[in-house]
Amino acid sequence: MKKKVLVAMGGTSSEREVSLKTGAAVCDALTAMGHSVTSWDPADGIPQTRSAWDELICGQDVVFLALHGRFGEDGQLQSQLESLQIPFTGCGSTASSLAFDKVATKRKWREAGLLTADFVSFDSKETPFPDALGKPFVVKPACEGSSVGLYFVESQAEWSQAVEAILKLDRCGLAEQKIEGREITVGVLEGKALPIVEIRPRTGVYDYKNKYTAGATEYLCPAPFDAGLTEEIQRIGEKAFAAVGARDYARVDMIVTEERSPFLLEINTLPGMTETSLLPKAAQAAGISFKSLCNKMVEMAVYRSQAVK
């Protein structure tokens, strides 16, 4: 099934550089699979009319979303494409918008009976110090990715600094109990969990620096858990995926405590897609090559659009 694919990549969010790497890798993979591939960077301009979209799409069969962050992962672009009935990869607008908001996601998971750390949301510099979360606790923007704006707070002074910095990035922030344990991620493809990836920073925590510095973090896939705990973690990943209304694929991040309790952290509906990214690592462990994974994402979008027709 060879198709004309428009790869959306780059954009204007804080994750632009990561998205450009994702987009380049996806373009190469889809080209190698025989598709006709064109790239589009929303930073160059976003169509404002149906005719402008028609000119951009120009006979393309599907839009591959290789964007991260705002206007890419937050449902805005998905909503536009849905209104124009243009097929695209990944989650729909409603699930994308929900999953991009860490506070809304945690609330949805709790409604579904899933385990996630205690938290407090804030949208004001006057928000009181959240003593009930213990020390240190984690502070981060509600709607950013790639560990942008991640702080570990113990004092009132640190709290004030973190809140001020985060409210410059986002309208709302999240203060969250710090869960100690093994950091993992579960890729979900067509509703089914892939092999678990364990994330082990060589120093410190899994922040932006350790995430994107070569050799700074060790990744184990499949993660070394016993069969019973592995199955439990994977089922939780699938439930977390379903609870936000996700489709096609996503990546669910968790912490597993010494007591063997998996705590949900967040879900990424447009995770990184280079050959060394975490979702492709998990797919590779399941016997799915990077090229085949990219191709499958296109196939799912195309089949969905044909089913609607």
DSSP 88: B
CA distance 73 to 65: 8
Q: Are residues 134 and 149 in the same domain?
A: yes
154 catalytic, yes or no?
no
pLDDT tier at 202 (50, 70, 90 boundaries)?
Answer: confident
CATH assignment at residue 108: 3.30.470.20
308 in a domain, yes or no? no
226 catalytic, yes or no?
no
211 in a domain, yes or no? yes
pLDDT for residue 206: 58
**Which of 272, 277, 303, 304 does the annotation list as catalytic?**
272
**Which of 212, 245, 261, 299 does the annotation list as catalytic?**
212
Q: Are residues 185 and 145 in the same domain?
A: no
Which pTM was predicted?
0.92
pLDDT for residue 275: 79
Domain that holds residue 156: 119-177
Mean of pLDDT values over 115-125: 96
97 catalytic, yes or no?
no
39 in a domain, yes or no? yes
Q: Are residues 169 and 186 in the same domain?
A: no
pLDDT tier at 59 (50, 70, 90 boundaries)?
Answer: confident
216 in a domain, yes or no? yes
pLDDT for residue 217: 83
DSSP 60: -
Nearest to 4 by CA among 85, 88, 62, 75: 62
Q: Are residues 145 and 163 in the same domain?
A: yes
**Which of 14, 74, 253, 295 does the annotation list as catalytic?**
253
| Contacts (Cβ under 8 Å, ≥6 apart) of 168 | none
Q: Read out DSSP for 222-272?
A: S-S--HHHHHHHHHHHHHHHHHTT--SEEEEEEEE-TTSPEEEEEEESS--
Q: Are residues 104 and 252 in the same domain?
A: yes
**Which of 19, 183, 266, 295 does the annotation list as catalytic?**
266
Q: Are residues 108 and 197 in the same domain?
A: yes
**Which of 10, 11, 13, 15 does the annotation list as catalytic?**
15
pLDDT for residue 149: 78
110 catalytic, yes or no?
no
238 catalytic, yes or no?
no
**Which of 97, 146, 210, 277 does the annotation list as catalytic?**
146
Q: Are residues 15 and 29 in the same domain?
A: yes
296 in a domain, yes or no? no
pLDDT tier at 146 (50, 70, 90 boundaries)?
Answer: low
Give the residue from 133, 157, 177 where a domain finishes. 177
CATH assignment at residue 83: 3.40.50.20
CA distance 204 to 211: 11
303 in a domain, yes or no? no
285 in a domain, yes or no? no
134 catalytic, yes or no?
no
Q: Are residues 104 and 187 in the same domain?
A: yes
| Contacts (Cβ under 8 Å, ≥6 apart) of 17 | none
Q: Read out DSSP for 103-157?
A: HHHHHHHHHTT--B--EEEE-STTPPP-GGG-SSEEEEETT--TTTT-EEE-SHH
**Which of 10, 73, 251, 295 does the annotation list as catalytic?**
251
10 catalytic, yes or no?
no
**Which of 96, 268, 277, 295 does the annotation list as catalytic?**
268
170 catalytic, yes or no?
no
Q: Buried b vs exposed e over 78-87: b needs ≥16 C-beta within 10 Å?
A: bebbeeeebb
pLDDT tens digits, one per residue of 79-107: 999 999 999 999 999 999 999 999 999 99
- Structural domain count of the chain: 3
